[in-house]
Amino acid sequence: MARRRKELLCLTDRGLYCHEGDFYVDPWKPVDRAVVTHAHSDHARWGMKRYLCTKEGERVLRRRVGEDAAIDTLAYGEPVTLNGVRVSLHPAGHILGSAQVRVEHGGRVYVVSGDYKTEMDSTCTPFEPVPCHTFITESTFGLPIYRWPAQAEVIEQIHGWWKGNQAAGKCSILLGYALGKCQRALAYLNPEIGPIFLHGAVQGLTNDYREEGIALPPTHLVPEVGKGFDWSQAIVLAPPSANGSPWVRRFGDHSTGFMSGWMAIRGARRRRAVDRGFVVSDHVDWPSLIGAIAQTGAESVWVTHGYSSVVVRYLEEQGLDAHALSTRWEGEQDEGAEAAEAVEQTEGERPYTPNTEGKLE
């Protein structure tokens, strides 16, 4: 009877661990060596003795874990050897500095995707497929119902909403993650329409993007203007936590818009108590997820957070060795109801047939 090959990576109570290299990938408890895919809080936790991330992502990671943190950096594609294991970081296209972690030892290559998207945007290095034997992928939006509209189309929708609010005498408050989502939207906003303001939680991170050479239009911090300012021509970028808070009262009559992949689901806008929903996600949709997996050439796929069971079942039907991997990585969080409704809306649909780019071979 053939013995099962020992896996190079395994899941522990502290996170995904490489025993041979003695390091963790995105651990959720303090460890001696953490290789971090990106600076969102569900992947970059405080308290590690040493961190390893991309050079592009160091600024935003320090803002997350502290200026005094011991952080080592690598350029994209630059290898380092940790206790005999070759490690390199490759573009994930998620946010500034986001990376896939390539781990090689004994002739085997594993790749941990972290969070990723394949659609290009000007605020981060574009995703690059990395050939491997085992691919560990997120599945935040791993249902056929999730298919993102073109980015240019969504920006046009946001601009139209902003102009409509101006005509109605309302301030436009656009809500999205302070790290990544707000900067991505900002990069495409037209400052000729009106002034652009930032919530304090967005301001510092936006400065980090600018320091890394990301071109962004001019902005103002909300407290920079005095009382009596006419907010009706402005758009304000803020985190979701600002919605309904006392902070928004200063803007007077206003309209709220929310940027998220969950906005693709009926009822999501109503549950979040916002006026408009814009389908903007920094994660892959279903066609891109299936296509990205195919491009790796992986013979084994581990699927984490999101609709992992759905993705695993589909991959198994395509002849791949696929497994669900339970982690604490949360991805683009929902409130539960959106996820349930997505499954309900998917039931009864025809099975997804990938196009040429998404074909699994």
DSSP 187-203: HH--TTTS-EEE-HHHH
329 falls in which pLDDT band (50, 70, 90)? low
264 lies in the same domain as 289: no
Say which CATH number the domain at 137 has: 3.60.15.10
Assigned domain for 357 exists: no
Among 248, 278, 308, the domain boundary falls at 278
The amino acid sitting at 115 is D
Task: Assess whether 233 and 306 both reside in one domain.
Answer: no
Taking the C-alpha atoms of residue 78 and residue 338, their distance in angstroms, rounded to an integer, is: 39
Residue 355 lies in a domain: no
Does 18 share its domain with 112?
A: yes
Does 134 or 225 have the greater pLDDT score? 134
Lowest-confidence pick of 30-34, 83-87, 302-306: 302-306
Per-residue burial over 310-337, b if 16 or more Cβ lie within 10 Å, else e, is bbbebbeeeebebebbebebbbbebeee
Domain total in the chain: 2
Residues 199 and 301 in one domain: no
| Average of per-residue pLDDT values in the chain | 90
Say if residue 123 is in the same domain as residue 221: no
Residue 189 and residue 130 share a domain: no
319 in the Ramachandran plot: left (φ > 0), alpha (ψ -120 to 50) or beta? Answer: left
Rg (CA), the chain: 21
Residue 130 lies in a domain: yes
Residues 206 and 272 in one domain: yes
Between helices 181-188 and 200-211, what is the axis angle to 10°? Answer: 70
The HSE-up count of residue 307 (CA atoms within 13 Å, CB side) is 25
Q: Provide the 3-class DSSP secondary structure of residue 224.
A: helix
The answer on 199 and 124 residing in a single domain is no
Q: Identify whether residues 239 and 185 lie together within a single domain.
A: yes
Residues 221 and 195 placed together within one structural domain of the fold: yes
From the CB of residue 55, how many other CB atoms can be counted at a distance below 10 Å? 14
Asked if residue 190 and residue 224 are part of one domain, the reply reads yes
> What was the pLDDT predicted at 267?
78
> Poorest-confidence range of 59-63, 242-246, 326-330?
326-330
pLDDT in tens, 146-183: 999 999 999 999 999 999 999 999 999 999 999 999 99
Range 11-33 average pLDDT: 97
Q: What is the pLDDT of residues 168-222, one digit of tens each?
A: 999 999 999 999 999 999 999 999 999 999 999 999 999 999 999 999 999 999 9
Residue 222 domain boundaries: 151-278
Shared-domain flag, residues 129 and 22: yes
* Helix (H) or strand (E) run with residue 339 in it: helix 337-346
What CATH number corresponds to the domain at position 272?
A: 3.40.50.10710
Residue 347 has pLDDT above 70, yes or no: no
